[in-house]
Chain A
Amino acid sequence: MTVSTFILKNALRNKRRALLSISSVAVSLFLLVTLQVALRELTLPPQSAGAELRVAVRNKISLTNPLPVRQRGVIEKIPGVEAVTPFTWFGGKYKGEEGMSFAQFAMDAEKLHSVFGEAKMNGDGYEKFNATKDACVLGKITADKYHLKVGDQITLDSTVYPGSLSFHIAGIYAGTPDDRNMLFRQDYLDESIGVPGYVGMWWLKVKSADDMAPVIKAINAAFQNTSAEVRAESERNFQLGFISMLGNIKTLIASISTVVVFTLVLVTASTMSMAVRERFRELAILKALGFRRRELFAFILAESFGLAVVGALLGIGGAYCLYTFGNIGKMTAGIFVSFEVTPRIMGVAALVAALLGIISAVAPSLSVARMSVVNGLKTLD
C-alpha cells in the first residue's frame, strides 16, 4: 500500500458521501460557469469580422429618432468613407406571433456586400437582392426556425409603420455572429408604408482602421447644430451602448455568482468537516502510530482537493459540452445566440475549485491538530 492508495481508499470510504460532495461541487461550478458566460455575453457581445471598419451613426437624441436622407451625401463625401447604407428598424411581427422573434432592417441592396461583407450567401442571393424590389435576405437561424427557403414569400406586420409588407426571400445568409436578422430594401419601404425622406440610422464602412477615428469625428462635426445632430461611433461602442441600457441586470448576475461561490465553499467545507469527524478515531490511531500532524494535514488536504477537482472536472466539462454542442438559442428562448465557454472562464472556475479544496481542508485540519490521541480514540464512545 502506498500513501496515495491510502488517500484514495479514505476518500472513497464513504462512497455515497464522496459522490454527493462531488455532485454538489459539480452543480455549483456548472452554475458559476453559466453565469460567467452569461455575464460575458451581456457585457462583451461577440465581435464580427469587419467590425473594426464599421461605423454606426444614429440620431443624437436617441436611437429611435429618425435621420434625414439628405445626410447621406454629406457622409459619402467625407474622406476615408468607403460605403454608406441606411439601416432602418422595421419592427415586424411574423405570422401573427405575439412579439418580435427576429429583427428586420431596411437598407441599400447594393451596399450589403460592401458594408456587411462577412455574410456568406449561397447561389445568386446578392444578385437577386439587387434586382428585385421586394427581395429580402434572411439569417440561417430564422430560416431554419420557420422552415423558410429561397423563393418563399413572407409577410410581416410592422409595429412601427402602419400596415404590413410582403417579401420574397432572395437568399439565406450565415457567418455573422447573429444569423437571425432579416434585411430588405429601403426603397421598397419608402414606396410602400415608410416615411420617405427619413431613415433609422446610417451604417458605413471606412477604408482602413486608421480612417476610423477621423471619420467619426468628421461625421459628428458635420451635423452639429443642425436639426438632426448625430452620434457616430464604432460598431463596438455602439454595441456597448446597448449593454449599458441593460442597467442593473449585470450587477444582479455578478452578485448571484458571488452568492453561488460562497454557498459552494460553505457546503463543501461542511462536508469535509463531516468526513473528518467521522474518522477522528482513525486519525487518532494514525497519530498513535507515529504519523505527524503534517502528514495528517496532507491526507485531509489531498482528499478535499481531490473531491473538488473531480467535481470541477464534471461541472466545468459538463457546462462546456452542453453550451458547445447544445442549441443555446432554443434553451434560452432566443435571448442568447452564442454561449461561448472561454478558456478564461474555465480557468476562473478551476481556480475557485482549487481554492475550495484548500479552504475546506482548513477547519478539519485545525480540529485534528487540537485533537489529543487519547480523546480521539475515545470520541465515538
Chain B
Amino acid sequence: MALPLTYNFRNVLVRWRATLATILGIGLVVAVFVLVQALAVGLEKSASNTGDPRNIMIVRKGSTAESTSMVSLAQLQIIRYWEQIARNEAGVPLVSADVITLISQPRIDGRGEANVSVRGLTPVGMALRPQVKLISGRWFTPGKREVAVSQKMARRFAGFHVGDSFRTAGNTLTVVGEFDGSNSAFDSEVWMDADETRSLFDRQNYSSLLVRAASPQAGQEIVSRIEADKRLPLLAGPEVKYYGDQTATAMPIKILGNFLATAMSIGAVFAAMNTMYASVGSRTREIGTLRVLGFRRRTILAGFIIEGALLAAIGGVVGCLLALPLHGVSTGTMSFNSFSETVFEFRITPWLAAKGMIFAVVVGIIGSLLPAIRASRLPVITALKSV
C-alpha cells in the first residue's frame, strides 16, 4: 500500500526554499536540454518541410550540395522533354533548371559577413515550390537586376529589406520582395531569375534540376533512366530524400546537446540528492512513526522516490515553460552542407517536451534513490529516539 500522494506533495512544499532551489536548478537543466534539442529538431524540420513527394531532384553525381553541383545545358536538353515529366496547362514541361551561387554578405549587426545562397530560377521553378509565398513587395522582373529575399534572411543581413539594394559581382541588385518559405530550406535563400543569375555570376551551367513527375511510377522511371544513360553523369532522387539527407548540420548541435545534458544532469542529480538527504535527515522520526504504524520498508522507499520524482517533475514543467518562449524564434548558423547561412527555428514539439519531462523525472529518481534507501533502512527504534 502506498502513502497518499498528498503526503509527498505537501512534504515537497515544506522545505520550500531548498525545494525551490532544486526545482529551479532542475528546471534550468531541463530548459537547456530542451532548447538545444529544439535547435536540432528545427534544423531537421526545415529539411523535412522542403520536399514535395511528387518532385524529383537531379544533381551531379558525387556532389553533396546544390552549390557544388553542375548540370550542363546539353544535359538539360536531353531530359527536358521526357514523357515521364508532367506538363502545365500550356504544355510546358515542369522542369526547373536552377543556378545556386553563394555571395558573401554583411550581417545586419555589422559583425562580419556570411555566405548567402542565391537561387536563380524560373516561374516554373517557383510553381514547383508552392510553400514559398510572397509576403511583401513583388516578385523580381528578369533582366532588371532584381531579387526577392526570404523574410528571415532580411532580418539577418544588411540591405535585404524591400527597397534596399546591395552590391555583388560588380553589380547592384535591388530587393523588390520578401517571401516566407513556411519553415523550409528556402527560408535561407535569395531568389532571382535563372538566366540573369548565370550571366551575372558568369556561369555556363546550371546547378540542379527539379522536375515534377507525371506519376509516382513515372518518378521511378526518371530515376532509373538517368541512372542508365551514359551521357548523364547525374544522380536523381526524390526531392524529399535529397533534403532529408541534408541534416548533417544538426549533428554537432546534437553532440553539444548530449554533452550538456549529461554534464548538467550529473550536477542536477547531486543537487536533488542533497535536498532529499536533508529531507530524510530531518524526517527521521516521522519515518520511524510510519514504520511503527505498520508501513513497510518498500512503502517508505517508494514514498521518497515518488517525492524526488515529483520534485523533479515540477522542475521539468518549469524547464519546459522557461524554454517555451523561444519556440518559433529563428536563429541561424553555417550549414556544413551548403557552406552558407541556414536559418531555422527553435521547435519545441510535444514529444521533445515529453523527453524533457522524462529526463527530469529520471534525474529525480536517480537523485532520490540513495536517500530513499537510507530512509527505508532506518531501524525503527533509532528513528523513534532521534530528536
Contact between chain A and chain B defined by CB under 8 Å:
yes
Provide the residues of chain A in CB contact with B103, threshold 8 Å: 61-62
Q: Is A27 an interface residue (CB 8 A)?
A: yes
* A248, B346: Cα distance in complex, Å: 12
Which stretch in A15-23, A79-87, A167-175, A290-298 binds the other chain? A15-23
Instruction: Name A240-275 residues within 8 Å CB distance of B.
Output: 240-241, 243-249, 252, 256, 259-260, 262-264, 266-267, 269-271, 273-274
Our pick among A62, A252, A274 for the contact of B39 (Cβ within 8 Å) is A252
Our pick among B24, B263, B331 for the contact of A266 (Cβ within 8 Å) is B24
Q: Does B21 contact A266, Cβ atoms closer than 8 Å? A: yes
Provide the residues of chain A in CB contact with B336, threshold 8 Å: 99
Our pick among B28, B39, B70, B102 for the contact of A162 (Cβ within 8 Å) is B70
Q: Which one of A62, A159, A248, A264 has the greatest number of beta carbons of chain B within 10 Å?
A: A62
Q: Is A34 an interface residue (CB 8 A)?
A: yes
Q: Does A246 contact B333, Cβ atoms closer than 8 Å? A: yes
**Known contacts A20-B277, A240-B112, A245-B114; is-contact A99 B248 (Cβ 8 Å):** yes
Minimum CB–CB distance for B291 against chain A, Å: 21
Q: Does A270 contact B63, Cβ atoms closer than 8 Å? A: no
Provide the residues of chain A in CB contact with B271, threshold 8 Å: 24, 267, 270-271
Minimum CB–CB distance for A81 against chain B, Å: 24
Nearest opposing residue in chain B for A160, CB measure: B68
Q: Is A74 an interface residue (CB 8 A)?
A: no
Nearest opposing residue in chain B for A38, CB measure: B256
Minimum CB–CB distance for A92 against chain B, Å: 10
Nearest opposing residue in chain A for B20, CB measure: A270
Provide the residues of chain A in CB contact with B385, threshold 8 Å: none
**Known contacts A62-B102, A245-B334, A335-B255; is-contact A159 B68 (Cβ 8 Å):** yes
Nearest opposing residue in chain B for A270, CB measure: B21
Q: Does A17 contact B274, Cβ atoms closer than 8 Å? A: yes
Q: Is B201 an interface residue (CB 8 A)?
A: yes
Q: Is B67 an interface residue (CB 8 A)?
A: yes
Count B-side interface residues using an 8 Å CB cutoff: 66
Q: Does B274 contact A259, Cβ atoms closer than 8 Å? A: no
Q: Is B215 an interface residue (CB 8 A)?
A: no
Q: Is B29 an interface residue (CB 8 A)?
A: yes
Minimum CB–CB distance for A365 against chain B, Å: 15
Q: Is A380 an interface residue (CB 8 A)?
A: yes
* A17, B272: Cα distance in complex, Å: 11
Provide the residues of chain B in CB contact with A270, threshold 8 Å: 17-18, 20-22, 25, 271, 274-275
Provide the residues of chain B in CB contact with A23, threshold 8 Å: 270
Minimum CB–CB distance for B246 against chain A, Å: 11
Q: Does A31 contact B112, Cβ atoms closer than 8 Å? A: no
**Known contacts A20-B277, A256-B32, A274-B274; is-contact A263 B25 (Cβ 8 Å):** yes
Q: Is B233 an interface residue (CB 8 A)?
A: yes
**Known contacts A31-B260, A266-B21; is-contact A244 B111 (Cβ 8 Å):** yes
Provide the residues of chain B in CB contact with A157, threshold 8 Å: 62
Q: Is A163 an interface residue (CB 8 A)?
A: yes
Q: Is A158 an interface residue (CB 8 A)?
A: yes
Q: Does A27 contact B270, Cβ atoms closer than 8 Å? A: yes
Q: Does B28 contact A263, Cβ atoms closer than 8 Å? A: yes
Our pick among B63, B170, B277, B331 for the contact of A248 (Cβ within 8 Å) is B331
Q: Is B244 an interface residue (CB 8 A)?
A: no
Q: Is B332 an interface residue (CB 8 A)?
A: yes
* A363, B61: Cα distance in complex, Å: 66
Q: Does B102 contact A269, Cβ atoms closer than 8 Å? A: no
Q: Mark A1-25, 1 if CB is under 8 A from B, else 0.
A: 0000000000000001100110110
Q: Does B278 contact A278, Cβ atoms closer than 8 Å? A: yes
Q: Does A263 contact B248, Cβ atoms closer than 8 Å? A: no
Our pick among B61, B62, B277, B387 for the contact of A17 (Cβ within 8 Å) is B277
Provide the residues of chain A in CB contact with B277, threshold 8 Å: 16-17, 20
Nearest opposing residue in chain A for B339, CB measure: A64
Minimum CB–CB distance for B143 against chain A, Å: 19
Count A-side interface residues using an 8 Å CB cutoff: 60
Instruction: Name B259-313 residues within 8 Å CB distance of A.
Output: 259-260, 263-264, 266-267, 270-271, 273-275, 277-278, 281-282
Nearest opposing residue in chain A for B337, CB measure: A99
Q: Is A49 an interface residue (CB 8 A)?
A: no
Minimum CB–CB distance for B227 against chain A, Å: 16
**Known contacts A24-B274, A64-B115, A245-B115; is-contact A335 B267 (Cβ 8 Å):** no
Q: Does A162 contact B104, Cβ atoms closer than 8 Å? A: no
Instruction: Name B25-64 residues within 8 Å CB distance of A.
Output: 25, 28-29, 31-32, 36, 39, 60-64
Our pick among A62, A262, A381 for the contact of B387 (Cβ within 8 Å) is A381
Q: Is A30 an interface residue (CB 8 A)?
A: yes
Q: Does A64 contact B255, Cβ atoms closer than 8 Å? A: no
Minimum CB–CB distance for B49 against chain A, Å: 20
* A381, B113: Cα distance in complex, Å: 67
* A76, B277: Cα distance in complex, Å: 74
* A301, B231: Cα distance in complex, Å: 80
Q: Is A229 an interface residue (CB 8 A)?
A: yes
* A208, B113: Cα distance in complex, Å: 28
Q: Does B22 contact A267, Cβ atoms closer than 8 Å? A: yes
Provide the residues of chain A in CB contact with B275, threshold 8 Å: 270, 274
Q: Is B341 an interface residue (CB 8 A)?
A: yes
Q: Does A241 contact B25, Cβ atoms closer than 8 Å? A: no
Q: Is B141 an interface residue (CB 8 A)?
A: no
Q: Does B201 contact A65, Cβ atoms closer than 8 Å? A: yes
Q: Mark B321-345, 1 if CB is under 8 A from A, else 0.
A: 0000000000111101001010000
Q: Does B18 contact A273, Cβ atoms closer than 8 Å? A: yes
Can you name 24 A-B pairs with beta carbons within 8 Å?
A62-B104, A62-B115, A99-B248, A159-B68, A163-B62, A229-B169, A229-B170, A231-B104, A246-B333, A247-B156, A247-B332, A248-B333, A252-B36, A260-B32, A263-B28, A263-B264, A266-B24, A267-B267, A270-B22, A270-B271, A278-B282, A333-B255, A335-B252, A380-B387
Q: Which 5 A-B pairs have the closest CB atoms?
A: A244-B112, A270-B21, A24-B270, A245-B334, A27-B267
Not counting A262-B28, A263-B25, a sample of 5 additional A-B residue pairs whose C-beta atoms are within 8 angstroms of each other reads A31-B263, A60-B169, A227-B170, A227-B202, A243-B112
